[in-house]
Chains A and B, each alone.
Chain A
Amino acid sequence: MATPKRKTDHAFNIQRLNVVFLFSALALIASVIWMVIDDYDREWKHFQRDFFARDRERARLQIEELDEQNQAALEQAQESKTQTLTRIESDIEAKRDQLDKLQREQIYRADQLVKFARAKLDVLRYEYESELTHFRVEHGEGRIDPAEFPEGLRDRYDLVVKNEQDIAKLSNDLNELKKQEKSISDELGELEKQVTVYDDEIRSLTEKRDILARKIERTESGFRNTVLDRTPMMDFIDPVTKVEWVKPPNLRDDLNFTQAERIDMCKTCHMAIDGIGYTGDNWEHPFRSHPRLDLFVSPSSPHSYLDFGCTVCHQGRGQDLTFKGSAHVPRDDAQREQWEEKYGWTPKAFMHWEFPMVPTQYIYSSCLKCHGDSWTIPEAGPTTVELAASSPAWNTVDEGATLAGHNSVNAGRMIFYEYGCHGCHAMKDFESPRKVGPDLRQVGAKLEPDWVYAWLLDPKAFRPTTKMPKFFGLSNSGGELDTRAHREQMQKFNQVEADSITAFLFQQSVPMDLPLPDGLEADTESGKTLFENRGCLGCHAVDSLPFAPGNNFGPNLSRVGEKLNLAWLYHWVKDPKQYHPDGRMPSLRLEDQEALDIASYLLEAFQTESPFRGSPDRSDADYLSFLDARIIENYLDDLPIADAQAKADAMSLDQKRTFVGQKLVERYGCTGCHWVNGYEDAKGIGAELSEHGTKDLHTVDFGLELHEVDGVDRVTGEEKTYHIDHTLHSWLGMKIRYPRIFDRGRYKAYKDASRMPNFEFKDDQIEALVTYLFGNRKELIPEIMKANLQGDAQVIAGGERIIHDSNCYGCHQFEMHEISYLDDDALRRHAIGQVTEVSVEDEVSFFRAWTDQIALTQKGQTDFAAAQTIYGADSVPIAYEMFSNPEKIRMLAGEKITDLESVSVLDPVGTTLELGVEADIQADVSLFTAIRFIGEDGQIHLAYGKITSADLEEGSLTFGLMKPIEELGLDAFAELELTRDKIVQLIDPSLALGGRLGRSLELAYAQNEDLDPFDTDEYFNDIQPTIDPYKPPVLFREGQKIQTPWAFEFLMNPYPLRPWFEVRMPTFGFTQEEATTLANYFGAKDRRQYPYNYYDESAASYLAARSDDQPEQYLENAWALMQDPQVNCFNCHMQGEKTPEGDPSSWAPDLSMAHERLRPEWIRSWIFDPQGFQPGTKMPQLFLSDEERYQEAFAAPSGHQVEAIKDLLMNWTASPAAASNPR
């Protein structure tokens, strides 16, 4: 039976419901309050309030400072204003009255009269014209002569005329009055100006202050801010604290299946990021200015805030407003601890995000996103870690502070490329990589098995600088970090592997016919001279020249005699491409005898007493069982164990070895770096790294919760504990440092064990490499945002790559040093040139300016701008760049320059500047030699200065410091004594600029002549002047000098330009395309027309115009001038086959080639001032702008004389020169 329903009016209990409502209302109110409080209490609002308070304080201080500064001037201005006012107030009043009166009474009246008269005239004219119409209707159209009018009409006509005259008179009166008005008002203006002048002055004095005051007012707690910004619930109306965001127009967030506009709110907390001067100790993050406002954030920088935002470089979550939520990643443990304490940061804050923030030391990795097509990314760091270590200049920030520890992405990329990482790991930057190791297809002709065996086991034991990594004795194969029990067994196992690989390599090797030339006797003395002077040292280092600038482009040859045989080396030196067709070693076009001498010398001179050899005991039971085990294991996938065993038993020992060796070559991916027969098309065995920077952390193998590894610092040799964080960069660093460490403690089958070799990189190399790898990210960057090099920039990037691959820097200097300094007027200026002397004793250094300053000062900028206005932005001629003497400019530029004052600020080219080390120079300290050494505290330190003495045998030295080292308590100019084992790196300033060979030539000469290259007298008086003529030419601004087609031909087929040279431009075997790029590179770099350029010097009309239609006589005269005993170009210059008298070291290049080789504008400028182009050149200055010389030979001002010589050189083949010098 159903329960009877209770009779109620409602389906619910109102009483109870009221209670529910009450509580839910209370809960709602509470949650609203909570919401409001929580909103008011948001992290970023605290940051903003804090920042505003501090910024107000800063503004107040600035105001105080300004007030103090301007107080006097302001008072003065106000005082003067008051005085002036009192003085002329009555005058002004009087004038105003006068003006007012004039306007009110006279002008008004006159104006009215004119207006009335005009109105009246209109009436009269109407009446006249209407009567005239009647008259003409009655008497015919043609009758218009007033003389024939009847009387009435005539009166009306006269009235019109009279009225017109009246109006003219009245207008005239009015104009007179207006003139009067103008003159009074001008006078009044003049008077008032006396006062407004002070108003302007006051305004300019208070302008900055007012802005600051407004800034304070904007955020200060006043009524408005208290109500609209600081009152919960009200603060939405018009808050001062508000989210600052930017929406870069071309950037999108990739949300897998769709894209969203990218919005960065970072500035909400980083409020001063675009402000200037929020630096130093008072401003910690997040309230600091961006350290490179010249490059980023500021509107005038190439990467402005509005166009780029923040996260495109820094990554992280731009739309999150909390510290943790925006995925900050600490740079190191210290920062991590700081954050944990300050912000409650935990690793979870970033672990799960796809793009956590880039730790600051890797920030330059982001450049790769858009600038991947540059060979070296401008401003993103030097190309070698050595330079990065020595030169703080590249990451110098405001106020001379530096961002310590930033890694160069350029250096990382270069390491990746040079060490052939692309051999195993595909990478989008290097699509068709060359194999970086030597060709092994004919290895039997080159090496002996015992050497190869020993080499494979430990390449660095033979050659510490080799790029060949170590495959055996690593942390999972019996190395020092292998913690397993069977280390010794593993070592035996490694021997089996190395021996097998050796066996296979020799088995696959194809024989090579290497006949030695008949009837030639090797002369090792001559071999030594050739080796030292031909240019070998441009790419190769030898330990016997301990202070030669480190050149690790080719292998260090110090033990080459233990490795190679004469027949092979002879052929290699003579024609490297025969053995290794795509190798980088160029041909020096050596004679048979020369090649034989060099090869014999190398083999004889470069070996140690204990030759590098090794072989295993092949009868050892372990050896044999390991070998069998490898074979059996290999067959086990397909065969039962008994059959596999039978297969092994059927093989001879050599068969076993080659069989296993072949499998190992495949396993270790040897073919990634070496050519091996049968593996020409082998693919890299490693993972592609093109998008490794965004690899999902969950797919990264961190091994068994490995947190730290006790390793060894490869520079200092000290034991060091390396931490492993759960971050990609930490993992990458450890993977490169100890590639197989993540196998530790795990059971892994042989075939699954890690097999990446160890390159034994040093910590800074690893950091650079990680930076590079970290920058290769999978991310959507619209094409429009990428640098996409075009035109000259593309040509330059292409050229730089070829220059790198051919190691042009090894021999040629491409750039000069740059310094900025204060001149006598305390203006900051800029000069390009070279250091001529560093004197630790006299505590001073000297710098010679090679070119004019492109001054950084206002004054200087105007000058350059003036030249640009005259010539056009891109074609400021050499004359401007090279000459500073206004008279010279007048001469060279002819009528073009009129404003001579505009260039007079420049100092003469070739000036030597005296530089006090600390006082006035703010140069890149890498001008000086840098040394990295292990100090008494066991740490690596960096010092700048100069080697003051050295023991060439021992490699020890004393080093004079140009800057103090505070950590070690060493003052500037202190001398540091260092033994070889304490020297980590000696960094010659020329490394940055190229031309290392020149230094090696000097050192070799010093060693042979028993001179001290570090003694100032001996160096500057003997070594340098002797060797300078034999150094490969400096290619600084070469594009201004050479014609592109000539450069192309020369690069394709070099020939001796300077016959006295012992050093030789090699034949690189460039493709036509490469030679074109390189030839164009020079033109592009120095902004000259390329590839083709029309020179009208050879046009008949040109010569006719120069010479009053007597071109032949003109050239005759020029020829006479060149041969004049007082000029006599051919005293030094060759002309075709004809050589000058005397010793070849005093000769100069062949002038019969000038017309094909040189640009005429360069010839002209060069003759005028050789020292301005190349201070120290042997070419004397013969023509002076202010002196007329050689008038008997060629009567003309010197400008014309030089012009004529240039014209003759450009017309050589049609000139008397060619007639006397058949080529």
Chain B
Amino acid sequence: MFAKHAMSLATWGVLSLGLVAGLSAEENTPAKPAGGSITGKCLIDGNVPAAGKLKIDKDVEVCGKRSDVDKSLMVAKNKGIQNVVVSIKKIDAPDGWPKAQLARIFDQKDCEFVSRVMIVPVGSQIDIKNSDPVLHNVHTYSRRNTPINQGIPAGQSLKQKLEKEETIKVTCDVHKWMLSWIVVAGHPYYTLTNEDGSFELKNVPPGTYELIAWHESLGKSKTKHKKVEVKADGTVEGIDFEFKPKN
């Protein structure tokens, strides 16, 4: 379902801000007997921190349009943390996954990367766009894929293929506050938490797995879920992760 959306430019912006970037397991439902799901929440272990503010000090005419809220850590009132990447460690991707290599659009608008955290299947090609009237340079701090640092003039774009699994930090050196993450996933069992910190991993083949959660500012969760048993058509609930706040 998301795959179809992903091809539609219009809906992309909405999606990429939100949940899963189009690689949830629905794509290969027919391939295996029905899997189970895992649900849980990612919570902060401490007080809810106030969202930080960014200093927008360059190209203010254009960049001033964006909000100056620092999205590097967004915690809801229920202590739920948004944009945590939850995934299963060491699991093989199902045969034939991903079905097709889709072009993912990675846009820059109002001096902000449209997606904060984007999960793409390994082998994807991303289409890096600049929808602003000013110059942006896209600088990937990649260490497994070949990194780039290219200026992208207004309205132009650049295609980049991501061949290896890793979490890539993306910045624009012209506008220091711009920050985004691309998670190149080696299998479909990756998901992002919602605004309230909840997540659901669907269609997980039956078995026992280790789950890990990672957040861009808080790092890896201290909570360990080493043996999560998933049964066919069953739902494992309450797989919660806690994160220690940075001082």
Chain A contacts to B: CB under 8 angstroms: 836-837, 846, 848, 908, 910-912, 914, 1010, 1015, 1017-1018, 1020-1021, 1024-1025, 1125-1128, 1131-1132, 1140-1143, 1145-1146, 1170-1171, 1175-1182, 1184, 1189-1190
CB closest chain-B residue, reference A1012: B219
Instruction: Contact check, A911 vs B149: say whether CB atoms are below 8 A apart.
Output: no
List of A residues within 8 angstroms of B139 by Cβ: 1178, 1180
Instruction: Determine which of A837, A1180, A1181, A1184 lies in contact with B143 in the assembled complex, contact meaning CB atoms within 8 Å.
Output: A837
> SS class of chain B's interface: helix, strand, loop or mixed?
loop
Given A1018-B219, A1126-B154, A1171-B147: A1010 touches B174 (CB 8 Å cut-off): no
CB contact between B58 and one of A910, A1131, A1176 (< 8 Å): that residue: A1131
Interface status of B160 (Cβ within 8 A of chain A): no
The reply to whether B144 and A912 contact each other, CB–CB distance below 8 Å, is yes
Partner of B173, one of A1125, A1126, A1180: A1180
Q: Which 6 A-B pairs have the closest CB atoms?
A: A1180-B137, A836-B143, A1182-B151, A1126-B153, A1180-B151, A1178-B173
- Chain B, residue nearest A1177 (CB): B149
Known: A912-B144, A1171-B147. A1142 touches B57 (CB 8 A): yes
Q: Nearest Cβ distance between residue A910 and chain B, in whole angstroms? A: 6
- Interface membership of B135, Cβ < 8 A: yes
Q: Closest CB of chain B to A71's CB: distance in Å? A: 44
The distance from the CB of A833 to the nearest CB of chain B, in whole angstroms, is: 11
In the assembly, what is the distance between CA of A1193 and CA of B106, in Å?
28
20 contacts between A and B (CB under 8 A): A846-B144, A848-B147, A910-B146, A910-B147, A1017-B219, A1126-B134, A1126-B135, A1126-B153, A1126-B154, A1131-B135, A1140-B58, A1142-B176, A1145-B176, A1146-B173, A1176-B147, A1178-B173, A1180-B137, A1180-B173, A1181-B148, A1181-B150
Docked CA distance A908–B138 (Å): 19
State the CA gap A1010–B164 with chains docked (Å): 30
B214 cross-chain contacts in A, Cβ below 8 A: 1017
* With A1021-B141, A1131-B174, A1178-B173 as contacts: A1010 and B247 at CB distance below 8 Å: yes
B216 within 8 A of A: yes
Cβ A912 vs Cβ B141 within 8 A? no
Contact with A along B212-247 (1 / 0, CB 8 A): 001010011000000000000000000000000011
For the complex, what is the distance from the CA of A1126 to the CA of B58, rounded to whole Å? 14
A837 to B176, CA, bound (A): 25
A1178 proximity list for chain B (CB < 8 A): 139, 149, 173
Chain B residue contacts of A908, Cβ below 8 A: 146
Return chain B residues, CB-CB under 8 Å to A846: 143-144
Tell me, in angstroms, the Cα distance from A635 to B156 when the chains sit together.
94
B220 pairs with A1190, CB closer than 8 A: no
Q: Is the CB of B149 within 8 A of A1179?
A: yes
A176 to chain B, nearest CB (A): 71
CA distance A1140 to B176 in the complex (A): 13
Any A CB within 8 A of the CB of B169: yes
B135:A1128 contact, CB within 8 angstroms: yes
B131 interface contact, C-beta 8 A:
no
A1146-B141 contact, Cβ under 8 Å, with A1125-B135, A1180-B150: no
How distant is A821 from chain B, measured CB to nearest CB, in Å? 16
Known: A914-B164, A1141-B57. A1132 touches B146 (CB 8 A): no
**Extra pairs beyond A1017-B220, A1132-B174, A1143-B176 (16, CB < 8 Å):** A836-B143, A912-B142, A912-B144, A912-B145, A912-B146, A1015-B219, A1021-B141, A1131-B174, A1143-B55, A1146-B176, A1171-B147, A1176-B141, A1178-B173, A1180-B138, A1180-B139, A1190-B153
Nearest A residue to B149 via CB reads: A1180
Min C-beta distance of A1215 to chain B, whole Å: 22
B167 near A: Cβ within 8 Å? yes
**Chain A residue at minimal CB-CB distance from B171:** A1025
Residues of A within 8 Å of B137, CB to CB, are: 1180, 1182
User: How far apart sit A915 and B139, CA to CA, in the bound complex (Å)?
Assistant: 24
Do residues B150 and A914 form an inter-chain contact, with CB atoms below 8 A?
A: no
From A849, which residue of chain B is reached at the shortest CB distance? B146
For the side of the interface on B, what is the size category? 35 or more
Shortest CB–CB separation between residue B20 and chain A, in angstroms?
A: 21
Q: Closest residue to B57 on the A side, CB-wise?
A: A1142
- Give Cα A1182–Cα B150 distance, bound, in whole angstroms: 6
A1175 to B142, CA, bound (A): 11
Residue of A nearest to B55 (CB): A1143
Q: Contact residues of B with A, CB < 8 Å?
A: 55, 57-59, 133-135, 137-139, 141-151, 153-154, 156, 164, 167, 169, 171, 173-174, 176, 214, 216, 219-220, 246-247
CA distance A1175 to B150 in the complex (A): 12
- Asked if A1025 meets B141 with Cβ closer than 8 Å, knowing A1142-B176, A1171-B149, the reply is yes
A1025 in contact with B169 (CB, 8 Å): yes
Q: Name the residue of chain A whose CB is nearest to the CB of B144.
A: A846
Which residues of B have CB within 8 Å of A1190?
A: 153
Identity of the chain B residue whose Cβ is nearest the Cβ of A1187 in the assembled complex: B156
- Provide the residues of chain B in CB contact with A1127, threshold 8 Å: 135, 151
Q: Is the Cβ of A914 less than 8 Å from the Cβ of B144?
A: yes
Alpha-carbon distance A1028/B72, docked complex (angstroms): 21
* Shortest Cβ distance from A1010 into B: residue: B247
Task: Flag if B149 contacts A1170 (CB, 8 Å).
Answer: yes
Residue on B nearest A1184 in the bound complex, by CB: B150
Assess the A1171–B153 pair: CB atoms within 8 A: no
* Neighbouring A residues of B147 by C-beta, 8 Å: 848, 910, 912, 1171, 1175-1176
| Cα separation A332 to B219 with both chains bound (whole Å) | 54
* Complex CA distance for A33 and B190, rounded to whole angstroms: 92
Nearest Cβ in chain B — how far from A1169, in angstroms? 10
Distance in angstroms between the alpha carbons of A1175 and B55 in the assembled complex: 28
In whole angstroms, what is the CA distance A848 to B147 when docked? 9
| Cα of A410 to Cα of B23 in the assembled complex, Å | 57
**List of A residues within 8 angstroms of B176 by Cβ:** 1142-1143, 1145-1146
What are the residues of chain A within 8 A of B171 when measuring CB–CB?
1025
By a CB distance below 8 angstroms, the chain A residues around B149 are 1170-1171, 1176-1181
Q: Are B169 and A1021 in contact (CB under 8 A)?
A: yes
Residues in chain A near residue B141, CB distance under 8 A: 1020-1021, 1024-1025, 1176
Q: In the complex, what residues of A have CB within 8 A of residue B216's CB?
A: 1021
Q: List B contacts of A1010 (CB < 8 A).
A: 246-247
Q: What residues on B are CB-neighbors of A1170 within 8 Å?
A: 149
In Å, the complex CA distance between A1190 and B152 comes to 11
Which residues from chain B contact A1126 at a C-beta distance below 8 Å? 134-135, 151, 153-154
Q: Which residue of B lies closest to A837 (CB)?
A: B143
Tell me, in angstroms, the Cα distance from A1127 to B174 when the chains sit together: 11
Most central of B141, B143, B145 by chain A CB within 10 Å? B143
Please determine whether B58 and A912 come into contact, CB atoms closer than 8 angstroms: no
Q: Are B151 and A1181 in contact (CB under 8 A)?
A: yes
Enumerate chain A residues within 8 angstroms of B148, measured Cβ to Cβ.
1171, 1181
Residues of A within 8 A of B134 (CB): 1125-1126
* Residue from A1142, A1145, A1179 whose CB has the most chain B CB atoms within 10 Å: A1142
Contacts of B246 in A (CB 8 A): 1010
Whose C-beta in chain A lies nearest to the C-beta of B150? Answer: A1181
Of chain A, the residue at the smallest CB distance from B152 is A1180
Q: How far is the CA of A1140 from the CA of B55 in the complex (A)?
A: 15
Q: Please measure, in the bound complex, the distance between the C-alpha atom of A1084 and the C-alpha atom of B124, giving whole angstroms.
A: 46
Give min CB distance, B225 to chain A, whole Å: 18
User: Which residues of the other chain, B, contact A1015 by a CB distance below 8 angstroms?
Assistant: 219-220
**A491–B223 CA distance with the chains assembled, in angstroms:** 59
Contacting pair A1132 B143 (CB below 8 A): no
The chain B residue with its CB closest to the CB of A911 is B146
**B57 contact set on A, CB distance < 8 A:** 1141-1143
Closest chain A residue, CB of each to CB of B165 = A842
Residues of B within 8 A of A1179 (CB): 149
B35 to chain A, nearest CB (A): 25
Nearest Cβ in chain A — how far from B212, in angstroms?
11
Q: Specify which of A836, A1017, A1141 is in contact with B167 (CB 8 Å cutoff).
A: A1017
Chain B residues with Cβ under 8 A from A1184's Cβ?
150
Q: In the complex, what residues of A have CB within 8 A of residue B220's CB? A: 1015, 1017
Q: How far is the CA of A1024 from the CA of B171 in the complex (A)?
A: 14
